[in-house]
């Protein structure tokens, strides 16, 4: 994807010397991967400009020309903006990456939920003058802390969703699990599905969805292990289920057999997010430091 900058409601790119002449409609659909329906609407509303003038789909785009797309029209936030502070780890015209504290829901699931990460992001958009719908790209459990990726406009959301499906967004977690793990690294490839006997719990089951977790031991303690986990898939409670399945439930994770005597939530932190930027291709790697409760847990275990 060609690097693009945002100017008000427009995304702007300039074709380079190595770009072949191509009909603008084909450029948008085939090269820039815009949905066909969206391309049709952009041309219908004269929201595709080449060197400042509206064009038809068949017009050739050539080296050095400027392409403008009206991809960022004002949108309602969709949520009441919260005034509480938000820890921003990365931000540009297209993306926002934030650090979620443990104990906070990512998005409202009940009408009375008025303070979630989505509400905090709505507050950030409001304060910075961005009139855009709040779009989280992936999710974290309420009691899991760490990095969360948001898209700032619909095109970024569509591209990031596709990257997530194609496993092009790498998510690395730090977990503190019960017991000393014997192997230094491994791969857990076990399908995960719903537990018929518990409304919110998941379990390893032959009829579940494919789920793959890679792990590497980072430190061993007398009664526990610090593990780095990388997800290939993103099933609900995946790390929690997989670690419990191999006999090492997360410390604090009572739902899957962990004990809460050392920490009052599952000891799981989304530490690193790595991906190629959908607009430009440069590698984005964002780190969220361990929160205070897990630093305290680490000190106790040592």
Give residue-wise pLDDT tens across range 47-80.
999 999 999 999 998 888 999 999 999 999 989 9
Q: Identify the pLDDT of residue 99.
A: 98
Domain-embedded: residue 287 = no
Domain count, the chain: 2
CATH value at residue 179: 3.30.2350.10
Host domain of residue 176: 171-270
Task: Tell me which of 69, 88, 113 is where a domain ends.
Answer: 69
The one catalytic residue among 118, 141, 143, 293: 141
Give dist(CA 4, CA 31) in Å, integer: 14
Mean pLDDT of the 160-186 span: 95
Evaluate whether residue 179 is within a structural domain.
yes
Please indicate, yes or no, if residue 292 is contained in any of the structural domains: no
Q: Please, are residues 229 and 266 in contact by the beta-carbon 8 Å criterion?
A: no
Is position 143 annotated as part of the catalytic site? no
Tell me, yes or no, whether 262 lies in a domain.
yes
Which three-class secondary structure state does DSSP give residue 144? coil
Answer whether residue 88 shows pLDDT above 80.
yes
Average pLDDT of the residues of the chain? 94
Q: Is residue 108 a part of any domain in this protein? A: no
What are the pLDDT digits (tens) for 210-227?
A: 999 999 999 999 999 999
Contact 274, 285 (CB under 8 A): yes
φ and ψ of 61, to 5 deg: -95, 135
- Which residue did the predictor score with more confidence, 111 or 298? 298
Distance CA 141, CA 200 (A): 12
- How many secondary structure helices (H) and strands (E) does the chain include? 6, 19
Three-class secondary structure of residue 163 per DSSP: helix
Closest to 104 measured CA to CA, from 136, 67, 58: 136
Compute φ and ψ for 265, nearest 5 degrees. Answer: -155, 170
- Beta-carbon-side half-sphere exposure of residue 193 (alpha carbons within 13 Å): 8
What pLDDT is stored for residue 2 in this prediction?
Answer: 65
Which CATH number covers residue 56? 3.10.290.10
Q: Is residue 109 part of a domain?
A: no
**Residue 187 located in a structural domain:** yes
To the nearest whole percent, how much of the chain has pLDDT over 90?
85
User: Which residue, chain included where needed, has tokens 């919260």?
Assistant: 82
Q: Which of 32-46, 103-117, 217-231, 271-285 has the lowest mean pLDDT?
A: 103-117
Domain membership flag for residue 137: no
Helices (H), 105-257: 117-128, 154-165, 238-245
Q: Which residues have a Cβ under 8 Å from the Cβ of 271 and sit 6 or more positions away?
A: 146, 147, 172, 173, 174, 228, 287, 288, 290
CA angle 223, 264, 219 (to 5 degrees): 35
- Considering only CA atoms, which of 225, 257, 263 is closest in space to residue 145? 263
- Res 1 pLDDT > 70: no
Instruction: Identify the bridge partners of residue 98 per DSSP, sorted by sequence position.
Output: 88, 148
């Amino acid at each position: 994807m060609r690097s693009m900058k945002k100017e008000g409601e427009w995304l702007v790119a300039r074709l380079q010397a190595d770009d072949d002449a191509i009909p603008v409609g084909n450029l948008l659909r085939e090269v820039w991967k815009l949905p066909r329906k969206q391309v049709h609407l952009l041309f219908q509303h004269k929201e595709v400009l080449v060197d400042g003038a509206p064009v038809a789909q068949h017009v050739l785009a050539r080296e050095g020309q400027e392409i403008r797309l009206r991809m960022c029209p004002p949108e309602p936030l969709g949520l009441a903006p919260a005034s509480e502070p938000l820890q921003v780890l990365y931000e540009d015209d297209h993306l926002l990456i934030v650090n979620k504290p443990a104990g906070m829901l990512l998005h409202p699931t009940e009408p009375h939920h008025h303070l979630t990460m989505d509400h905090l992001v709505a507050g950030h958009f409001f304060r910075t003058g961005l009139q855009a719908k709040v779009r989280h790209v992936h999710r974290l459990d309420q009691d899991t802390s760490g990095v969360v990726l948001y898209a700032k406009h619909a095109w970024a959301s569509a591209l990031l969703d596709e990257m997530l499906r194609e496993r092009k967004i790498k998510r690395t977690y730090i977990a503190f699990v019960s017991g000393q793990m014997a192997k230094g690294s491994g791969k857990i490839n076990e399908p995960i599905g719903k537990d018929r006997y518990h409304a919110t719990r998941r379990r390893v089951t032959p009829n579940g969805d494919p789920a793959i977790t890679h792990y590497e031991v980072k430190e061993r303690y007398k009664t526990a292990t610090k593990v780095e986990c990388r997800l290939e898939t993103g099933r609900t409670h995946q790390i929690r289920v997989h670690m419990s399945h191999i006999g090492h439930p997360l410390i604090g994770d009572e739902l899957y057999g962990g004990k809460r005597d050392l920490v009052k939530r599952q000891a799981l932190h989304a530490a690193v997010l790595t991906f190629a930027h959908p607009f430009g291709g440069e590698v984005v790697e964002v780190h969220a430091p361990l929160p205070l409760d897990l630093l305290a847990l680490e000190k106790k275990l040592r």
